[in-house]
Structure 1
Amino acid sequence: MKTCIIIDDENKARLLLRNMLHEVAPDISILADCDDLPSGIKAIKKLRPDIVFLDIEMPGHSGLSILDFFEPDEVHFDIVFTTGYSEYAIQAFKLSAIDYLLKPINPEMLQQTMQRIAKNDEKNKLHQYKALQNNFNNDNNDKCIVVNLTGSTRFIKIKDIIMFEAEGSYCKIFMKGNEKLTVSKNLKYFEEALMGITHFFRCHKSYLINLKYVLEFNRSEGDIFLEEKLTAVLSADKTDVLIDKMKQLA
């Protein structure tokens, strides 16, 4: 049986999440609920839960500062952040590959989150939580996207990504320095994670490009030439969109 702790300064929010968990995940044991981060940290260290449901915006301490109170080898739990923040903040979660629940919490989304956690054997996500802190606190130039590889995790600076290319359920990431990675995420995953960063453009069903690296567009062939001798394809109906976006970029 998995165990959890709920940390939220709003009593109503804690009670609602508790009731939802009883409905969608009856096999989970709720060890405690806490109304601020300091009391939550004490409970985590004492009770050692499997999962912590953590509100971000609380008086005194932001939920994002939780890592400041633990040594790396103490982060033995999964964190599911709960937030009422805007799309800007949600993008930070997506880039960092971190579970989050948008308030008001939807029971179906809670159930999907619990299913993902049950399938994930990796207990220590410290690197991803640190990436989340970085992505919350920095502008687009310093943000990074987290990708899990076989036996390791990479933090790729968004500014260093030239393009993504779909390869079935996988995706190739092309970066500065002629580096290429193949990851087990589809192109739509990265498109959604980068939504709001205007210089990334889904130019074709198989390509997502960084407009800052575009060198030339061949109208007759529909080819986009980028730095590092890379080429992407432009869908015929997106020619005007590409031109407009390049003008805005300039």
Structure 2
Amino acid sequence: MTAVIADDEPLLRHYLNRTLSEVFPQIDVVASDSDGKSALASIKKEKPDVVFLDIRMPGLDGISVARGLKDLDKIPLIIFITAYDEYAIQAFEEHAFDYLLKPVNEKRLIKTCERIKSYIYAVNSEQDRTDPTSVKAIERLVARIQHPTNNYLRWIKASKGEDICLVPVDDVNYLKAEDKYVSVYTRYGEYLIRTPLKELIKQLDPDLFWQIHRATIVRVEAIERVKRDFTGKLYVHLSTDNVKLAVSRNAQGLFKQM
């Protein structure tokens, strides 16, 4: 696989190049550019599989670069990088595969790399089951990954101290209503939002998140086991941080087949 990195910060370009070589050695960075026009030229010349694209750059911004790729025969996976989370919606409108906030967290970058690997595996599987030369088969797969039929939340805008963060839903283990806020517990820390749980549950994929209590929503994959105490009350135990969450009587039916 090949990649192009485009960012006006030399240190970030160096960091991405070095970190990718460590965590994703199968990918070869074929160009590293500091402005939008150079990035667009490199992408058209090199035809990379992946582009790590800053949004605010001299010349052309990253959104404009992405728009300039729509006529290519081979459109790369675009991972936008920016310090400004307000660009998230616009980025995904331009078919972003992922979105990284500066400063780029290594664990988050590794997760992006895992998503790329999963995508490539899925493409290869699709090719195995269809004509390997079928462009339409691959286009259908890309459409399913980048534009799922149900528009469930992919990001949660939350606060942590004085910072406003864009938290990937994939990183959330559980959410809990506490006083006037909802706490968002992830593998990387705790965040706060004001959106009520009754509104959040409508926006989350019901196959991935269950409301187990009027004050608690949990990611199904984070559940390690379900256990009753001596009074008969049901609890879920998560696979991280020894967390135990109560299950309401109304929600116990969710676990009948577990």
Question: CA 1:108/1:78 → structure 2, altered by over 3 Å: closer, same or farther?
Answer: same
Instruction: Specify the code of the residue in structure 2 equivalent to 1:51.
Output: V
| Corresponding residue for residue 20 of structure 2 | 21
Name stretches of at least 5 consecutive residues in structure 1 with no aligned partner: 129-145, 159-184, 210-232, 239-250
Instruction: Specify the code of the residue in structure 2 equivalent to 1:201.
Output: P
| Corresponding residue for residue 148 of structure 1 | 148
Deviation for aligned residue 1:69: 1.7
1:164-196 deviations in Å (ceiling 9; x for gaps): xxxxxxxxxxxxxxxxxxxxx99x79x98xx99
Q: In terms of mean alpha carbon deviation, does 117-126 or 54-63 score higher?
A: 117-126
Question: CA 1:157/1:53 → structure 2, altered by over 3 Å: closer, same or farther?
Answer: closer
Deviation for aligned residue 1:23: 1.4
Instruction: Specify the code of the residue in structure 2 equivalent to 1:48.
Output: K
Which runs of at least 4 in structure 1 moved beyond 3 Å after TM superposition?
Answer: 71-75, 88-98, 121-128, 195-198, 235-238
For residue 202 of structure 2, give the secondary structure of its aligned residue in structure 1: strand
For residue 3 of structure 2, give the secondary structure of its aligned residue in structure 1: strand
Deviation for aligned residue 1:65: 1.3
| Corresponding residue for residue 68 of structure 2 | 69
Deviation for aligned residue 1:59: 2.1
Instruction: Specify the code of the residue in structure 1 equivalent to 2:47.
Output: R
1:185-210 deviations in Å (ceiling 9; x for gaps): 99x79x98xx9997x632299x437x
For residue 32 of structure 2, give the secondary structure of its aligned residue in structure 1: strand
| Corresponding residue for residue 202 of structure 2 | 208
CA distance in 2, matches of 1:82, 1:102: 6
Q: In terms of mean alpha carbon deviation, does 59-68 or 96-105 score higher?
A: 96-105
CA distance in 2, matches of 1:111, 1:157: 23
Deviation for aligned residue 1:62: 1.5
Name stretches of at least 5 consecutive residues in structure 2 with no aligned partner: 124-137, 154-168, 176-183, 185-190, 204-210, 217-258
CA distance in 1, matches of 2:102, 2:90: 16
| Corresponding residue for residue 101 of structure 1 | 100
Contact map agreement 1:75 1:126 (CA 8 A) in 2: no
More RCO (CA 8 Å, sep 6+): 1
Question: CA 1:12/1:127 → structure 2, altered by over 3 Å: closer, same or farther?
Answer: same
| Corresponding residue for residue 256 of structure 2 | none
Instruction: Specify the code of the residue in structure 2 equivalent to 1:148.
Output: P
For residue 208 of structure 1, give the secondary structure of its aligned residue in structure 2: helix
Deviation for aligned residue 1:102: 1.6
Contact map agreement 2:37 2:59 (CA 8 A) in 1: no
Question: CA 1:78/1:7 → structure 2, altered by over 3 Å: closer, same or farther?
Answer: same
1:188-236 deviations in Å (ceiling 9; x for gaps): 79x98xx9997x632299x437xxxxxxxxxxxxxxxxxxxxxxx9x66
Q: 1:1-250 to 2 correspondence within 5 Å?
A: 2-86=1-85, 88-90=86-88, 98-120=97-119, 121=122, 147-149=147-149, 201-203=196-198, 207-208=201-202
How big is the alpha-carbon RMSD for the aligned residues of Structure 1 and Structure 2? 4.2
